[in-house]
Chain A
């Protein structure tokens, strides 16, 4: 009985990891045999970024049960922290992989700390304040970065919020963050393979957290806060834990994103409100609390517009139909019933019974 229980979670998780690995292998084969357009190849790293974003947001929305409308803001923090580090260390640490691993850790740490600082006052409150505060944070962080100038020369780092001239750099000094122009010349360390490895690491962290003592505490708060308190669970601690980890993982996605670009700027397009909402759409359509669903919906909804490019005018029409179908598939009670009745597992069982 007990064994079976542990086994069930494990089996479920293995299927999730399996899907990711199989998709990766198929993609690699297609790329190496030249079946993938260069446009599509350019989409592979962003795809990994979106998957990590969706999975990590699901930790806040689905597992903790709090609404966050600023997930792109944490991605932005990670992107800039990681790119800043890599550019500073470009000539110091020449071993690219090591530098990138450190950049990822720094991006995760930076976003995690910001998440912690935002969560600390807000998650103590009872009510849906997190949505409003994260929404504001997402908008503010872009503007802060757009007026930030940081340079480096032999005397060390220089900061300014006016322009790059007022940094007073030595002639051979280097402007690292140049206000609205952001960071240019980040080493292009991101690859599809590293992206997939980061997806798997994200999955390990999120899935193992969910199926542990801490995960149970987090979900018990989601299901019934008053009851969770009554059995001695520290509400604020576990809310903060889930939210900070979620933010840190968004930071990882940000680092992956920024090391895929030559020039990184904080614009409404990449780190704005629309982006946060898009990630939320991935989570909602994939099923709130359903980690595998987040992965699939992030992939489908990112690839679809590209795959449908040939259909020009009908593209957005088909895209919206797919959105609606996915929503029905995941949320309509009748369809959920139907899905359970005709699920692969049950069909397999039935054929076995027949034999």
Chain B
């Protein structure tokens, strides 16, 4: 079976810094895949390359067999990749519900005129959007806070809302950048369940960056370890975590 995401020879330099070099990955549909590595290894940069925030210096990215290298961010989202951010990027002055509805933007449409004149299609589509958004909020147990401003949510819930918003765009591949950062152990445990739930119930393929080893070893089937922009180890989680090179990189010399 062809892979959902296939990346070959991906690289980028910032001035003299080789942030990512000869990166490759192959993720099958329905997989829960982990991307780990020390600070500054280039993990977030890879997400930025996959989502078109940065243009790669070289390499090919293909999603479901289509070459998406060099496409703009919004085209990549339409092609089926959605993400969350390491430093949370919510629409902080919009309500929690509206954050998710913004994610539904390209799937529930009505014209500007229908919106301004409040024609029947406006009410029909808004109702459908409200229902869909509430459904997504329920998955993350945020339905009670639907009317809150996103900025007023506690940290852990903000991270969940970002995932809900990304899911609203109906992606094939979901990229999570340190989803458990700033969460306490209890919240992290809950999040692991939620991520599994999303994979199973939304038919999702997930690539996640994480520092929390318990989360990584708990839910990821395969791992890629990155160090100084290069792949240090790649493969089944249990094998990778026992790789002496990985242990050295993590524990230091």
Residues of A within 8 A of B (CB): 1-2, 4-6, 8, 204-205, 208-209, 212-217, 219-220, 222-224, 226-235, 241, 289
Q: How far is the CB of B120 from chain A (nearest CB, A)?
A: 14
Q: Which residue of B lies closest to A219 (CB)?
A: B94
Find chain A residues with CB under 8 A from B230 CB.
none
Q: How far is the CB of B217 from chain A (nearest CB, A)?
A: 28
Whether the Cβ atoms of B112 and A230 lie closer than 8 Å is no
In the bound assembly, the distance between CA atoms of A217 and B94 in angstroms comes to 11
Find chain A residues with CB under 8 A from B97 CB.
5
Whether the Cβ atoms of B122 and A216 lie closer than 8 Å is no
In the bound assembly, the distance between CA atoms of A218 and B106 in angstroms comes to 14
B65 at the interface (CB under 8 A from A): no
Given A217-B102, A223-B92, A241-B112: A231 and B165 interface contact (C-beta under 8 Å): yes
In the bound assembly, the distance between CA atoms of A226 and B51 in angstroms comes to 11
B5 at the interface (CB under 8 A from A): no
Whether the Cβ atoms of B85 and A231 lie closer than 8 Å is no
Whether the Cβ atoms of B91 and A208 lie closer than 8 Å is no
B98 at the interface (CB under 8 A from A): yes
Whether the Cβ atoms of A230 and B51 lie closer than 8 Å is yes
Find chain B residues with CB under 8 A from A219 CB.
91, 93-94, 98
In the bound assembly, the distance between CA atoms of A9 and B77 in angstroms comes to 30
In the bound assembly, the distance between CA atoms of A204 and B116 in angstroms comes to 7
Whether the Cβ atoms of B91 and A209 lie closer than 8 Å is no
Contact-residue size bin, chain B (C-beta under 8 Å from the other chain): 35 or more
Q: Is the interface of A mostly helix, strand, loop or mixed?
A: helix
Whether the Cβ atoms of B105 and A217 lie closer than 8 Å is yes
Whether the Cβ atoms of A232 and B90 lie closer than 8 Å is no
Q: How far is the CB of A55 from chain B (nearest CB, A)?
A: 14
CB contact list, B76-103 vs A, under 8 A: 77-78, 82-83, 85, 89-95, 97-99, 101-103
In the bound assembly, the distance between CA atoms of A220 and B97 in angstroms comes to 13
Q: Which 5 A-B pairs have the closest CB atoms?
A: A212-B115, A232-B77, A223-B91, A227-B89, A229-B73
Whether the Cβ atoms of A2 and B127 lie closer than 8 Å is yes
In the bound assembly, the distance between CA atoms of A156 and B224 in angstroms comes to 75
Whether the Cβ atoms of B112 and A231 lie closer than 8 Å is no
Whether the Cβ atoms of A220 and B115 lie closer than 8 Å is no
In the bound assembly, the distance between CA atoms of A232 and B76 in angstroms comes to 8
Find chain B residues with CB under 8 A from A220 CB.
91, 94, 99, 102
CB contact list, B197-247 vs A, under 8 A: none
Q: Which residue of A lies closest to B118 (CB)?
A: A208
Find chain B residues with CB under 8 A from A241 CB.
112
- Which residue of A5, A234, A241, A289 has the most chain B CB atoms within 10 A of its CB atom? A5
In the bound assembly, the distance between CA atoms of A232 and B104 in angstroms comes to 9
Q: How far is the CB of A331 from chain B (nearest CB, A)?
A: 15
Whether the Cβ atoms of A216 and B105 lie closer than 8 Å is yes
